[in-house]
Amino acid sequence: MLDEAVKALREWQSDDSPFQLHPGDVGWYWRFGLEATAEAVRTWSVDGRIAAVGLLDGADLLRFTIAPDLRQDSELAARLADDICTPERGVLPSGTVYVESPRGTRFQEVLFARGWQSDEPWTPLRRDLSVEVEDPGVRVEVIEADRASVHADVIRASFEKSTFNSERWHAMASGVPFADARCLVAFDGAAPAAAITVWSAGAGRPGVIEPMGVHHDHRGKGFGRAITVAAASALRSLGSSSAIVCTPSSNVGAVATYRAAGFTALPEVHDQRRD
- Reduce the secondary structure of 241-253 to three states and give it as a string: CEEEEEEECCCHH
Whether residue 7 is found in the same domain as residue 135: no
Q: Does 140 lie in the same domain as 92?
A: no
Q: Are residues 143 and 97 in the same domain?
A: no
pLDDT in tens, 76-102: 999 999 999 999 999 999 999 999 999
Report the DSSP pairing between strands 242-248 and 117-128.
antiparallel
Count of domains for the chain: 2
**CA–CA gap between residue 173 and residue 134 (Å, rounded):** 28
Which residue, 91, 121, 151, sits at the end of a domain?
121
Q: Are residues 43 and 18 in the same domain?
A: yes
CATH of the domain at 205: 3.40.630.30
| Each residue's pLDDT tens digit, 150-204 | 999 999 999 999 999 999 999 999 999 999 999 999 999 999 999 999 999 999 9
Percent of the chain at pLDDT > 70 equals 100
Q: What is the mean pLDDT of residues 47-72?
A: 97
Section 240-253 average pLDDT:
97
pLDDT for 206 equals: 98
Which residue, among 216, 218, 214, has the nearest Cα to 230 in the 3D structure? 214
- Structural domain boundaries, residue 217: 126-271
CATH number at residue 105: 3.40.630
Say which residues have a Cβ less than 8 Å from residue 275's Cβ, sequence separation at least 6: 96, 117
Indicate whether 13 and 60 sit together in one domain: yes
Which region among 16-20, 152-156, 204-208 has the lowest average model confidence (pLDDT)? 16-20
Whether residues 8 and 86 fall in one domain: yes
Residues 234 and 100 in one domain: no
Q: Residue 155: its pLDDT value, please? A: 98
Give the end of a domain, one of 62, 90, 121: 121
pLDDT of residue 165: 98
Q: Per-residue pLDDT tens for 107-116?
A: 999 999 999 9
Do 11 and 152 meet the contact criterion of CB atoms below 8 Å apart? Answer: no
Beta-sheet pairing, 61-66 with 41-46: unpaired
CA–CA dist 206, 264 (Å, integer): 14
CA 90, CA 259: separation in Å to the nearest integer?
Answer: 39
Which residues fall within 8 angstroms of residue 27, CB to CB, at 6 or more apart? Answer: 6, 172, 175, 176, 177, 178, 181, 199, 210
The pLDDT assigned to 112 comes to 98
Overall pTM > 0.95: yes
Domain finish residue from 82, 103, 121: 121
| 102 and 133 fall within a common domain | no
Task: Quote the pLDDT of residue 239.
Answer: 98
Predicted pLDDT of residue 232: 98
Q: Is the pLDDT of residue 1 over 90?
A: no
The one-letter code for the residue type at 174 is S
**26 plus 116 within the same structural domain:** yes
Q: Exposed e or buried b for every residue in 258-267, given b needs 16+ CB within 10 A?
A: bbebbbeeee
* Same domain as 135, residue 229: yes
Q: What is the mean pLDDT of residues 106-130?
A: 98
Q: Is 112 helix (H, G, I), strand (E, B) or coil?
A: helix
Q: Are residues 179 and 102 in the same domain?
A: no
Q: Quick one: 132 and 257 in the same domain?
A: yes
pLDDT at 104 over 90: yes
pLDDT band at 72 (very low <50, low <70, confident <90, very high): very high
